[in-house]
Structure 1
Amino acid sequence: MKATGIVRRIDDLGRIVIPKEIRRTLRIREGDPLEIFTDREGKVILKKYSPIGELGTLAGIYADSLSKTLGCTVCITDTDQVIAAAGNGKKELQEMLLSAELAEVFQERKTVLKKSSDAEFVAITKDRSEYSEEIISVILSEGDIAGGVIFLQKNEKKHFGEMEKKFAAGTADLLGRQLS
């Protein structure tokens, strides 16, 4: 655990302020759920809660099945990182932090298909990988953005269409219902 040198006092209601620098670094925003743990040494540990992370095994199975069926790379994310990835490029995507541009696409709350030649083409992670097409579908749970289902294509001879968009939207809907 990294020491920050920042000390905060607990107020009379048991609240403590997490410093802005730490919230920015960990991408914690107002309203984000946090898990609270204690360890045997008496430390209190706060961890950003990811409902999609709870579905990690199931998300991995979905991603693998879709990748084999559609012949593309599939990622299932929460709002901060890739939770499950399958297909060509799995290792470069697994557990990577998402780009700020992708968070903006999630805010649109719709399924989008983009080609790398489009001005709106979005890098999924901070490390920009070379893909020719992408489909991004937002996972919603009780009206809140929980993450996304993303299909990526490297093969410039293959193209996504309406069927793949429907697969992505259906998978996002199914995962969203699992969280409710």
Structure 2
Amino acid sequence: MFAGSKTVSSERNDYIMKATGIVRRIDDLGRVVIPKEIRRTMRIREGTPLEIYTSVDGEVIFRKYSPVGEISGTADQYADVLYKVGGMPTVICDRDHVIAASGIQKKEVLERRVSSSLEDLIEQRKSLYRTADGVKMNPIEGVDRFAVACAPIMADGDVNGAVIMLSDKENSAVDEKTKALVEAAAMYFGKQMEDV
């Protein structure tokens, strides 16, 4: 455990809360500014939803909210189906981390951060379908696999994550079936989040 840190439990995760040494005052409208370095490190941008927790000790904890993470059980099952039908490793991520995977060792990818390339792609609300001679995009930091098909998950006009099929082979290109599977999955998750 880190000096000056506490272990904090939430419903979904246990994590370590580490003091930054930064103190901010609340203004007359009840606002507090999150320092730029923390926003950059934690990938918090304007419009990023934050969930607020309180403890009996008087702590206020801000945590990035992930609508995709809320349906992770369904995401696990859907990733399994996509892998079985599409025949390629499949991952489902929120805007920051992989939350479900199939066809690849889960310990290799779960909770890993998405790459800045994938982050930019989904921020622009774009899909990616690789052709045989297309540019390779590695969607997950520290994982040497590239995306064959990727579609953003949209709900209520917001981008919440992506559905990605990964290549096992050097020259894999997407076919119409794979493209349709990924697009249908992304639409399904978007609908699930809107109905919650």
TM-score by length of 2: 0.84
CA contact (8 A) 1:56 1:83 kept: yes
Give per-residue Cα distances to partners, 1:20-60, cap 9 Å, x unaligned: 11111100001111000012222111000011111111111
Change (3 A) 1:112 1:130: closer
Please give the per-residue CA displacement for 1:153-173, whole angstroms capped at 9, x wherever unaligned.
214586531101000000100
Whether contact under 8 Å (1:73, 1:90) holds in the other structure is no
Mapping of 1:7-156 within 5 angstroms? Answer: 7-114=23-130, 118-119=134-135, 121-131=136-146, 134-156=148-170
Structure 2 SS opposite 1:118: coil
Following TM superposition, by how much is the alpha carbon of 1:117 offset from its aligned partner in structure 2, in angstroms?
A: 5.2
| CA gap 1:17/1:114 in 2 versus in 1, 3 angstroms | same
Q: Is the 8 A contact 2:108 2:143 kept in 1?
A: no
Letter matched to residue 148 of structure 2: E
Cα contact 2:51–2:65 (8 A) shared by 1: yes
Say which SS state the counterpart of residue 21 (structure 2) adopts: coil
Alpha-carbon distance in structure 2 between the residues aligned to 1:52 and 1:140: 10
Give RMSD over aligned pairs. Answer: 1.8
For the residue of structure 2 that corresponds to 1:130, the secondary structure is: coil
Percent of pairs with identical residues:
44
Report how many aligned residue pairs link the two structures. 178
Residue segments in structure 1 that go unaligned for 5+ positions in a row? none
Which TM-score applies when normalising by structure 1? 0.91
Q: Which consecutive residues of structure 2, in runs of 5 or more, have no partner in the other structure?
A: 1-16
Q: Which moved more, 1:35-44 or 1:105-114?
A: 105-114
Instruction: Indicate if the aligned counterparts of 2:88 and 2:103 stay in contact, CA closer than 8 A.
Output: yes
* 3-state secondary structure, aligned to 1:14: coil
The aligned amino acid for 2:178 is E
